[in-house]
Structure 1
Amino acid sequence: MNRAKTLKEKQEITQTIIANEIKNLERGYNPLTNEYVVEDEHLVSEFTPFVKACEMALKSFHGVESTIIDLNNSMKHIVNYATILRLENKELKNITKGDIKQLLMKMTIDKHSNYRVNKTRAHLSKFFSHFTELDIFQVNFIEGISKLEHTSKKKNIIRTEEDWKKFHKIKDLNYSLYIFLNIFLYSGCRFEEMIQIKKEGRHSRSMRPINMHVWKYWKRICEIAQPHQYMFSFDQMPNDNPVKAHSLYDLSGKHIRKVGLDMTEYGLKHTFLNLVSKDFGLSKAAEIAGHTNTKTTEKYAVDWQGHQVERNKKIDISI
């Protein structure tokens, strides 16, 4: 109180001290032992600081490696901008829709892409869905924050005979990888799914067709693999231990670029589903990819709208 010169200043300081004391008591602070004796470091409560609550929620999430990496990337932005806006220690129950909107707006001001801002919004929504299930909030108000307009960049895929020739050059650079990429191309799967495939595995099963064009490659791998081994591991060969998906991403992308293809490794999946959509329709492409609806498949079959127009032109109805 020594710095306070007027009664009003003393009252304001006193009110602040009392408010802070109440907050500490609510969080489980024992003023006699000078310790927090109630707060469980592993449980999110309405009094948990915002950033800490998000970090704790993140630890409780499970998913494929790429999803967790993506969540962690968004978490870095959340921590950064929550700190700038002084939200990091704000009690979770007091976080408002306006706070989150300001955080996302600050990202936009700092020139982050609409895609990145929308991705961060989506991950915040995942956190707040978790908080809503804990009855900290009545509704997930993040869903009420509008997404920014975002037009996805046109995916580069294999469309020409020249591009297919480039793809087949991988055979001379790394034969095992070439076989794997062919199997991957025709599978409609993700890398995270491919690395979990075992010979005579006893994990969850998913029925997928083996395309006739790569049956010989599957047969070769199956003949080499021992029971319960991972089919596509180190050097894309069977092994008792699984390989990390990101190592396959790096290796595949490196060789695809080396042969002169301007596309990512996932461009192969886009290529296959695009061709299936062209010849057999979007529903068949969704079935092969294991998608529950065609909305997801539309992102892969990048030319499906043009293909649909061409098919519609050929409808022959006599009047």
Structure 2
Amino acid sequence: MAKSLLFDCSYTEIWVHPKNWKTLTSKKSLELNWYVECKFIDPLFLEKYPKGFPFRKKLNKFRTLEERKAAIQVLLTEIPKLFEDKGWNPITKKYMIPEAIPINGVLHPKLNFIEALEIAYLKLSVSDGVIKELRRIIAKVKKSAEQQRIDFSISEVHSGHVRDLLDYLNLTPNEYNKFLTHLSIVLSDLVEKRMVFHNPIKDIRKKKTVKKIRETLEVDELNKIFSILKTDYYTFYRYGQIFFHSGARSAELFRVQKKDVYLEKREYRITIKKGNSYREVIKVILPNALKFWTEIVQECKTEEDYLFTRNLQPSVTPTQPYQITKRWKRLVKDKYNITADFYALKHLFLDELDKATSESSMLSKGMASHETDVTEKVYLVGRNSRKNEALKNIRINVITA
């Protein structure tokens, strides 16, 4: 009995030669002609194949009975799938069911790997800094794929593909590891969206790196810089004072709006974004920085104003924190032959906080918003409030400018 297919096509029952293939045990039977066959009927080709097109799969290439019998079992299952599910026409050698073509800008398992990355990373719930870094990394990987003429769909990606793309770029160990970390974020998202079954980054080892000693600023050196900034670039000086006494990152401070600051409590709220994890934290305004916080809050015109925007003054239009690095380079590093980065202020502050307190490890971790004690995080809910109250009485008398 024939099985109906698309466009009035059909195929007959599948048979095996020799008929008694299941019971054959003699090696002599290997001399017989072994094959699996059916007739494929297409009404457009009845004149040429009136009894149907003979669709035959020969099995004589298999050298043992076990191999031939196993191959028959596979073909008896796969041939119906080939005709019914995939629409294969053995006469025209084309699929009658057209393969789905990815729509521009829409994720699809058949989409090119690079295109899938370019679409997916923009939809991630991560910080602006991570998005910017992913844009750079994906552009580099795309260039590697183009120059090597590597082309594969996102559903086919495996660790060998990723290794080939990255090895070609001759990255330093630190950059190589950074590429792996950031690509893993996108690929994990694509796994969740069922574009790929496994994150191949998990199968790639990171390279060994040497952790360099971070350059720091001496207190005297910092005071000289701040004295100049106070006179010539006051808003930068003010931001430096706030940043230094906060223990926070510029990315976090640049998201602070007037409505997030509680001067009467000497506290402010920030959102910490690390990877795809977000959390709100209440931080303390130290006595040394209170007048600067008060000053900038008073300059705000609405509750929605961001405190640090263009020229490090309040406005409703946020700006990117990378301007701090550029400003520090232009006004400090290039002018006064300083090699330490702006971020060195944070490390100097936390070091001074350690010196100024008897509970140094607890308080400095609190100011830096680090949580490493699981018991403290889960059970001692009130401890953060007690830490904040203790911090409000700490004076870090380092900056005299």
- Judge same fold: TM > 0.5, yes or no: yes
The 5 Å alignment of 1:69-148 reads 69-87=132-150, 89-108=151-170, 112-148=171-207
Alignment partner, residue 270 of structure 1: 347
Identical aligned pairs, as a percentage? 21
Query: Alpha-carbon deviations, 1:175-216, whole Å to 9, x = none?
Result: 121011110111122222212222125996531011111111
Question: Once the 2 structures are TM-superposed, how far is the Cα of residue 115 of structure 1 from its aligned partner?
Answer: 1.3
Superposed CA deviations along residues 66-124 of structure 1, whole A, max 9, x for unmatched, are 2211111111211011223332x31122222111122222223xxx2111111111122
Structure 2 counterpart of 1:230: 306
Give the letter aligned to residue 113 of structure 1: T
Quote the offset at 1:21 in angstroms: 6.9
CA contact (8 A) 2:111 2:154 kept: yes
Q: Is the 8 A contact 1:167 1:261 kept in 2?
A: no
Task: Tell me the number of residue pairs that the alignment of Structure 1 and Structure 2 aligns.
Answer: 261
The CA deviation string for residues 11-31 of structure 1, in whole angstroms up to 9 with x for no partner, is xxxxxxx9x976x943x2xxx
**Equivalent of 2:363 in 269, 284, 293:** 284
- Structure 1 Cα separation of the partners of residues 125 and 94 of structure 2: 37
What does residue 55 of structure 2 align with?
A: none
Higher strand proportion (structure 1 or 2)? 2
- The residue that corresponds to 2:258 in the other structure is 199
3-state secondary structure, aligned to 1:169: helix
Q: Structure 1 residues 283, 150: closer, same or farther in 2, change over 3 A?
A: farther
Cα distance in structure 2, aligned partners of 1:293 and 1:159: 29
Q: CA deviation at 1:217?
A: 1.1
Superposed displacement of residue 278, structure 1: 5.2
Structure 1 window deviating more from structure 2 (264-273 vs 173-182): it is: 264-273
Q: Shift in Å at residue 242 of structure 1? A: 2.2
1:186 maps to which of 245, 253, 260: 245
Asked if the contact 2:154/2:196 (under 8 Å) is kept, the reply is no
**1:34-49 to 2 correspondence within 5 Å?**
36=101, 39-49=102-112
1:220 matched to 2:299? The reply is: no
**Unaligned 5+ runs, structure 1:** 1-17, 29-35, 295-319
Match of 2:338 in 1: 261
The TM-score with structure 1 as length reference comes to 0.73
| Equivalent position of 2:326 in the other structure | 250
Residue identity in the other structure for 1:254: R
Question: 1:68 maps to which residue?
Answer: 131
**CA-based RMSD:** 2.7
**Alpha-carbon shift at residue 45 of structure 1 (Å):** 2.2
Name the residue aligned to 1:32: none
How far residue 224 of structure 1 moved from its aligned partner, in angstroms, is: 2.5
2:155, 2:197 within 8 Å by CA — same for their partners in 1? Answer: no
Specify the code of the residue in structure 1 equivalent to 2:121.
L
SS in 2 for 1:206: strand
Q: Distance in 1 between matches of 2:107 and 2:341?
A: 39
- Which is bigger in relative contact order (C-alpha 8 A, separation at least 6)? 1
Distance 1:102 1:214 in 2: 51
CA distance change for structure 1 residues 97 and 21 in 2, over 3 Å: closer, same or farther? farther
**Distance in 2 between residues matched to 1:21 and 1:130, nearest whole Å:** 35
User: Which of structures 1 and 2 has the bigger CA Rg?
Assistant: 2
State how far apart, in whole Å, the 1-side matches of 2:225 and 2:127 are: 31
What amino acid maps onto 1:272 in structure 2?
A: F
> Superposition pairs for residues 21-40 of structure 1, below 5 Å?
25-26=98-99, 28=100, 36=101, 39-40=102-103
1:105-164 deviation per Cα after TM superposition (whole angstroms, max 9, x unaligned): 2223xxx21111111111221122112112333332212211111123321122343443
Distance 1:42-1:283 versus aligned 2 partners, 3 A rule: farther
Give the counterpart letter for 1:293 in structure 2: T
Is residue 157 from structure 1 mapped to residue 219 from structure 2 by the alignment? no
**Which secondary structure state, in structure 2, belongs to the residue aligned with residue 208 of structure 1?**
strand
Q: TM-score, normalised by structure 2?
A: 0.59
Report the structure, 1 or 2, having the larger helix content: 1
Give the letter aligned to residue 234 of structure 1. Answer: R
Relative to structure 1, is the Cα distance of residues 145 and 277 closer, same or farther in structure 2, using a 3 angstrom cutoff? Answer: farther
